[in-house]
Chains A and B, each alone.
Chain A
């Protein structure tokens, strides 16, 4: 089908919408985290800016933006200035491929237009996410390297080692989903999980758990926040950053958390699937809205899990982190992948009842 100006206009609109929603959710995610953690820690949390502290993050962002931009002596100026953007850019991009709600159609003139609530429906699908999370390592690495501070350097060394190791585990826990559905297309992966056929509730629970754990490591959250372990490395790779540039790192971190949760929802928790939202060519308007709501609701549950874990666990040590990744997560995933591949082949030759576990 040829795309006309209306299709392109719709795409641009959707992209702007997703960007806005993403920024808004990230803003409130920071607040929610502070509030939830405060409650778990018998504190009150932010409550000064706006009712219930709602504008706290906005106030913080404004404050950071008007701060002086400085470059420490001994820093590599160009890379130092560039690194925050290298981190925040892939974070935004990774979110673009996720289908947030069911696609719907509308007729304009004599043509039917399909609106997908998705930044871009790439045919490489989930690989885009892996690519973007790989690129994001550079921002962290270069930030630590270019700061010219030893603490930053140690933080970035930890970051690169940790993120690269856990990316292997992350990819390996995505693979079973791809093998099971036989496609890289996220729309199809979501559609395959319709009718309560969520992967996390079936055979793919193991990759789901491993995805969540390696996702925590990817986003440098406790118990894997060695990159910015404040009791050891002061603030890790962004020790020397201040003002708006620090804000970008902070923003990227929270967007990454949201992306990981959203990807987990898409791959394992049925995406926008839920009661009264059928997978069909032309859902009603309220069904689309409900689908979007389901998507963010599930994401929020996972985000809460992130926050909860942060308030609960101590930090792991570098060598323990590495051995956990390489000696436990990756082997478990590899074995599971082999078993699953065997199952898929058996189903194809008919040695295993089709529909079983599917």
Chain B
């Protein structure tokens, strides 16, 4: 009997080892990799999460961004300043108007122009209207994410009225492209003030409905309280802003801390909460909607008469310089870093979008959470994919 050839012996050992390994594989329960998105009903567009799940528990999540990248910063380098207004409108597509504000303010600051008071008031009114319309989307869609469909249709109905107002002034519902360097394109249409007052009452009513019927619901509270806790130091470390950081107990609001437009003339509260959870974030947005209503009403009361355009040259030429302007967008702090080397076209425009910083907390936040809570948390952060990827 010849001895077993070494190759065969090695094979035998390997197969025995494989059998052992197979046993081990059968006994342990490995985590499943679940791909959530980019096409998924609750990710507000093309957001993708590669998650490791163990049954109903999500162990680890890896957000994958960039599916919505449209290269607006690069596009801005080959466009004139008035053209860029159209681009920035589409960054956060739910509140297009608000995106124009810091950019236009930056250009105006570089050129040393200031828009006349009436234009400033019109800008304030419109950005608060855009803010209200965005938050109405949130209040409805957050219900959908938790399984309640009805609030969505009610808030959308009333958001339609707000959009009608914006359309009445600017001609556009989402992307007004209404700001000009040195003012606004048109004056307010006839009947705008009365119509706005009425719509503001409607918004107040729907907010009360949402507060009692959705936020007061037991299941809603169970689903959101204590879910997705973001302590203040974590939130600050990740550069979160807007209602997300205010719900973690930090009362920052660019509108009050570094007033632009006419915010320093107006009275409003910075809504703050220190519960740090998804409920607090949703609650902050609800209260901020009511604060926006308050701001719009004050603006309507104080609306001055006068010109809507400052004196500006026909061709917008920006002197060399560098400016960073920021504003309180509905999603958080939106900033533009504009570098000009003179001429009609900016050298570089860097956009600091709130959603990008807000979602960056996700890998830290989505650890050992229930599958259903992933959606609760994603919804409560309220990001817009266009705002994440630019």
CA distance A320 to B227 in the complex (A): 13
8 A Cβ contacts from A182-232 to B: 222-223, 225-226, 229-232
- Asked whether any CB of chain A lies closer than 8 Å to the CB of B40, the reply is yes
Known A-B contacts A42-B153, A232-B42, A318-B371; the reply to A222 vs B56 at CB < 8 A is no
Task: Enumerate chain A residues within 8 angstroms of B32, measured Cβ to Cβ.
Answer: 150
Chain A CB within 8 A of B307 CB: no
B376 CB to nearest A CB, Å: 8
Q: Are A43 and B153 in contact (CB under 8 A)?
A: yes
Determine if A41 is an interface residue (Cβ-Cβ < 8 Å). yes
Q: Knowing A231-B41, A234-B41 are in contact, say whether A41-B222 is a contact too (CB < 8 A).
A: no
Complex Cα spacing A318 to B375, Å: 13
- From B76-84, B144-152, B186-194, B322-330, give the one contacting chain A: B144-152
The interface-forming segment of A112-120, A126-134, A169-177, A309-317 is A309-317
Q: Which of B55, B143, B370, B373 contacts A314 (CB 8 A)?
A: B143
Instruction: Note all chain B residues with C-beta closer than 8 A to A43.
Output: 153
Q: Assess the B372–A41 pair: CB atoms within 8 A.
A: no
Chain A residue at smallest Cβ distance from B35: A150
A42 pairs with B157, CB closer than 8 A:
yes
Q: How far is the CA of A43 from the CA of B152 in the complex (A)?
A: 11
B371 pairs with A154, CB closer than 8 A: yes
Give which listed residue, A157, A225, A317, contacts B222 with CB less than 8 A: A317
A315 to B148 Cα, complex, angstroms:
7
In whole Å, how far is B372's beta carbon from the nearest beta carbon of chain A? Answer: 5
Q: Report the minimum CB–CB distance from B104 to chain A (whole Å).
A: 37
- State the main secondary structure of chain A at its contact with B: helix
The bracket for how many chain B residues form the interface is 20 to 34
> Hey, which chain B residues are within 8 Å of A238, CB to CB?
none
Chain A residue at smallest Cβ distance from B217: A314
Q: Does A82 contact B (CB under 8 A)?
A: no
Question: Does A312 contact B41, Cβ atoms closer than 8 Å?
Answer: no
Nearest-CB distance from A86 to chain B (Å)? 24
Inter-chain contacts of B223 with A (CB < 8 A): 314-317, 320
**Residue-wise interface mask of B (148-179) relative to A, using a CB-CB cutoff of 8 A (1 in contact, 0 not):** 11101110010000000000000000000000
Q: Is A245 an interface residue (CB 8 A)?
A: no
Check A316–B222 contact: CB distance below 8 A. yes
B19 at interface by CB-CB < 8 Å: no
The answer to whether A298 has its CB under 8 Å from any CB of chain B is: no
Residues of A within 8 A of B222 (CB): 316-317, 320
Give the distance in Å from the alpha carbon of A272 to the alpha carbon of B200 in the complex.
52
Residues 13-45 (chain B) with a chain A CB within 8 angstroms: 32, 34-35, 40-42
A40-77, CB under 8 A of B: which get 1 and which 0? Answer: 11110000000000000000000000000000000000
Cβ of B50 to closest chain A Cβ, rounded Å = 12
A225 neighbours in B (Cβ, 8 Å):
147
**Contact yes or no, A317 B40, CB < 8 A:** no
Interface residue ranges of B213-230 to A (CB < 8 Å): 214, 217, 219-220, 222-223
Query: Is A314 within 8 A of B371, CB to CB?
Result: no
A122 to chain B, nearest CB (A): 37
Complex Cα–Cα for A223 and B53 (A): 24
Q: A234-B41, A313-B217, A315-B219 are in contact. Are A40 and B370 (CB under 8 A)?
A: no
Would you give the shortest CB distance from B237 to chain A, in whole angstroms?
28
**Which of B34, B56, B372 is A150 in contact with, Cβ under 8 Å?**
B34
Closest CB-CB distance, B226 to chain A, in whole Å? 12
CB-nearest residue of chain A relative to B142?
A: A314
* Bound complex: CA A225 to CA B146 (Å): 11
Residue ID in chain B nearest A223 by CB atoms: B219
A319 located at the interface, meaning its Cβ lies under 8 Å from any Cβ of chain B in the complex: yes
Interface on A for B, CB 8 Å cutoff?
37, 40-43, 150-151, 154, 157-158, 222-223, 225-226, 229-234, 311-320
Instruction: Given A151-B34, A231-B42, A314-B217, output 12 extra A-B contacts at Cβ < 8 Å.
Output: A42-B154, A150-B32, A154-B56, A226-B372, A231-B375, A232-B42, A311-B150, A314-B143, A314-B146, A317-B373, A319-B370, A320-B222
**6 pairs of A and B residues whose beta carbons are closest in the complex:** A315-B147, A314-B148, A41-B153, A314-B146, A231-B42, A314-B147
